[in-house]
Amino acid sequence: MIQSILQGVNFVVANTDAQALEKSLCDKKIQLGINLTKGLGAGALPDVGKNAAEESMMR
């Protein structure tokens, strides 16, 4: 989708997985739950993702 170069669209990627963020073509990146997940993924666990997002909101 990013490669489509859509006019008037700004993309943002948010992820707990630092490696996945690094590979993203998006310029605007938000790493969630830096302390909680230590840059690893949430392991497909919704509660870990939720807690990571909440941690990041506190910063």
> In angstroms, rounded to a whole number, what is the distance separating the alpha carbons of residues 54 and 22?
22
What is the secondary structure of 1-59 as a DSSP string? -GGG--TT----EEES-HHHHHH---S-EEE--HHHHTTS--TT-HHHHHHHHHHHHH-
pTM for the full predicted model = 0.84
**So where are the chain's domains?**
2-58
**Predicted confidence (pLDDT) per residue in 6-58, tens digit:** 999 999 999 999 999 999 999 999 999 999 999 999 999 999 999 999 999 98
Shortest CA distance to 25 belongs to which of 12, 38, 8?
Answer: 12
